[in-house]
């Protein structure tokens, strides 16, 4: 069911607009079968492992009552999953090539590798920080919207000082940081925490961790751009 729309769109465009037959139809059909099967197995694992683990951990932390552990846990989870994120590695190395081409950093292997590593650490640190802040927000029960308004204002202000080359990358980095395995775990953590603490509503307080994890990297990458390129101004 979940992949039918993709297949419909691609078939329509191939046959009606581009008007060429499919190359390697067999292989394509086999691929579709794999997609459907893989999704089914993934969801099975989601329900039997990722969701219960996230909730159980949140629950245990709430019972333990020491908030520092769970804040630290949030940071570690955000940092470690982001530093390993393949999509981030791809975008970071593209950004490295761009920076070298623009003459912002020296155009040799070492300085590009440094730039890429710096960018990855920046994003990973900002995601860790975002989840830690998000956990504090759930513990305190503060409304999410204040964080969003402050975050967006910071992004808008920083954008005006940021060099043009980094803006697209920065805005994109917000969306790619949260991978398919991280999202269910972080969601279960937030919801579990909000369920375990008295007076918190899982709907109002439980969600919002991903939102912060998508917002914070934008600010930090813009900042990183200013640091590397120097203030650009628009």
Partner 1 sequence: MNSEIFAILGNALSGTTLDIVPIILVLGFFQLVAIRKAIPHLKQKLVGLGLVVLGLGIFIVGLEQCVFPIGTQMAQQLTDLTFLADNDSVKLEALQNAKHIAPGVYLWTYVFAFLIGFSTTLAEPALIAVAYKAKEITTGAISAWGLRISVALGVAAGVTLGVYRIVMGSPLHYYIVAGYVFLIIQTCFAPKQIIPLAYDSGGVTTSTVTVPLIAALGIGLASSVPGRSPLIDGFGLIAFASLFPMITVMAYAMITEKLAKRKEIE
DSSP structure class, residue 29: H
**Using rule CB under 8 A, residue 109 touches partner 1:** no
Full DSSP string of 88-101: HHHHHHHHHHHHHH
Question: Shortest gap between Cβ of 226 and partner 1 (angstroms)?
Answer: 14
Residues in 37-76 that interact with partner 1 by CB under 8 A: 37-53, 56-57, 60-61, 64, 69, 73, 76
Structure tokens at 186: 């972080």
The CA dihedral of 166, 227, 93, 182, to the nearest 10 degrees, is -90
> Residues for the chain: how many in total?
234
Rounded to whole angstroms, the Cα distance separating 189 from 8 reads 36
Please report, as residue ranges, which positions from 75 to 104 form the binding site for partner 1 (by CB under 8 A): 76-77, 80-81, 83-87, 94, 97-98, 101
Q: How near is the Cβ of 91 to partner 1 at its closest, in Å?
A: 8
Q: Considering only 107-115, 202-210, 223-231, which stretch makes contact with partner 1 by CB under 8 A?
A: 202-210
Of 17 and 110, CB closest to partner 1? 17
Under rule CB under 8 A, residue 204 binds partner 1: yes
**Please, what is the minimum distance in Å from the beta carbon of residue 73 to partner 1?**
5
Residues between 153 and 192 with contacts to partner 1, criterion CB under 8 A: 155-156, 159, 164-165, 167-169, 171-172, 174-185, 187-188, 191
Q: Where are the alpha helices (DSSP H) in 141-181?
A: 144-161, 164-176
Task: Report if residue 117 touches partner 1, rule: CB under 8 A.
Answer: no
> Closest Cα partner for 219 from 130, 140, 117, 108?
130
d(CA 178, CA 78): 9
């Amino acid at each position: 069911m979940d992949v039918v729309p993709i297949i419909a769109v691609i078939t329509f465009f191939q046959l009606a607009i581009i008007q060429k037959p499919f190359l390697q139809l067999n292989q394509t059909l086999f691929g579709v079968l794999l997609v459907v099967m893989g999704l089914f197995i993934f969801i099975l694992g989601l329900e039997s492992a990722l969701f219960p683990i996230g909730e159980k951990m949140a629950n245990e932390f709430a019972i333990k009552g020491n908030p520092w552990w769970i804040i630290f846990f949030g940071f570690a989870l955000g940092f470690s999953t982001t530093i390993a994120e393949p999509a981030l590695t791809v975008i970071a190395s593209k950004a490295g090539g761009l920076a070298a081409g623009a003459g912002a950093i020296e155009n040799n292997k070492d300085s590009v590798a440094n730039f890429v590593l710096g960018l990855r650490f920046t994003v990973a640190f900002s995601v860790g920080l975002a989840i830690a802040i998000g956990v504090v927000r759930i513990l305190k029960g503060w409304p999410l919207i204040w964080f969003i308004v402050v975050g967006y204002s910071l992004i808008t202000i920083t954008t005006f000082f940021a060099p043009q080359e980094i803006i697209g990358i920065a805005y994109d980095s917000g969306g790619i940081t949260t991978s398919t395995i991280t999202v269910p775990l972080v969601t279960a953590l937030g919801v579990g925490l909000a369920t375990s603490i008295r007076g918190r509503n899982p709907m109002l307080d439980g969600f919002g961790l991903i939102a912060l994890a998508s917002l914070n990297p934008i600010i930090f990458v813009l900042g990183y751009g200013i640091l590397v390129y120097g203030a650009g101004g628009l």
